[in-house]
């Protein structure tokens, strides 16, 4: 009798507790936008991994900062220090070891970090994605949350703020991204940017801070004396980049 009672209570608890419904894409997007929209500054640690035809060719880690309107700072700490800064108008990628910085108009860049300007803007996913659906067949590698597939807007329909901004390179035409979100709070866990040519760039995020104190100077880049400034796309080959200007 005693075991029958315990078994009965266990069954009641298991089957009477309502199951949490799988969130739909629209509700997740709203939660994601709400989580980041009210913050003027953001800070997070990140791991960036670059794949070419399924092979991991590079892995970097550091700290990223975001500030409104349209500003970013990516401090690469491992395996070597590098710096990527978007001041709202220009994008700068500084390689201290080479004493070189690449400069380009932010709206023209096809850099894989460009979509993250969303976090430093109006937080409207529709400005970057033409449509968003839950993706269960091709999840991001971390698989800690719910994965959404964002099909990027084409160059013809881009408003100048997305990764396919006019005058950018055509290779992003059919690119898409897998955004992994925590369904409990809308926090961004990871992003996998997929290019039809076989290139994938994954960003994993942790330790999000909302409205941390970030000095405005963090989003400005002032080349040191002797640093060569190269005008061109970060994805471009040295042969297509413009001549360097030495400060």
At residue 147 the predicted structure's pLDDT band, cuts being 50, 70 and 90, is very high
When pLDDT is cut at 50, 70 and 90, the band that residue 68 belongs to is: very high
pLDDT 10s digits, 18-48: 444 557 899 999 999 999 999 999 999 999 9
Report pLDDT digits (tens) over 168-213: 333 456 789 999 999 999 999 999 999 888 899 999 999 999 999 9
Q: What is the pLDDT of residue 59?
A: 96
Mean pLDDT of 108-133: 87
3-state helix, strand, coil in the chain (%, to 5): 20, 40, 40
The model's confidence at residue 117, banded by pLDDT at 50, 70 and 90, is confident
The per-residue pLDDT for 102 is 93
Q: Which of 64, 73, 31 is nearest to 216 (CA)?
A: 73
CATH topology of domain 23-246: outer membrane lipoprotein receptor (LolB), chain A (2.50.20)
DSSP string covering 153-208, please? PPTTT--SSSTT-TTS-GGGTT-EEEEEE-TTT--EEEEEEE-TTSEEEEEEEEEE
Q: What are the boundaries of each domain within the chain?
A: 23-246
């Amino acid at each position: 009798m005693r075991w029958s009672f315990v078994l009965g209570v266990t069954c009641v608890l298991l089957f009477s507790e309502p199951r949490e419904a799988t969130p739909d894409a629209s509700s997740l997007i709203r939660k994601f936008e709400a989580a980041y929209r009210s913050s003027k500054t953001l800070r997070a640690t990140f791991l960036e991994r670059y794949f070419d035809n399924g092979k991991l060719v590079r892995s970097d880690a550091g700290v990223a900062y975001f500030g409104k309107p349209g500003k970013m700072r990516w401090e690469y700490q491992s395996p070597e220090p590098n710096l990527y800064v978007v001041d709202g108008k220009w994008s700068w990628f500084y390689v201290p070891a080479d004493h070189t910085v690449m400069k380009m108009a932010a709206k023209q860049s096809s850099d894989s970090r460009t979509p993250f300007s969303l976090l430093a803007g109006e937080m409207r996913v529709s400005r970057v994605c033409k449509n968003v659906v839950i993706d269960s067949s091709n999840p991001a590698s971390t698989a800690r949350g719910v994965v959404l597939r964002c099909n990027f807007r084409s160059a013809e329909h881009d408003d100048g703020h997305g990764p396919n901004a006019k005058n950018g390179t055509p290779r992003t035409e059919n690119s898409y991204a897998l955004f992994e979100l925590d369904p409990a709070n809308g926090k961004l866990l990871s992003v996998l940017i997929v290019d039809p040519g076989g290139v994938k760039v994954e960003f994993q995020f942790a330790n999000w801070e909302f409205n941390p104190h970030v000095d405005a100077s963090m989003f400005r880049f002032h080349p040191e004396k002797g640093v060569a400034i190269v005008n061109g796309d970060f994805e471009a080959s040295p042969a297509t980049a413009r001549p360097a200007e030495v400060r």
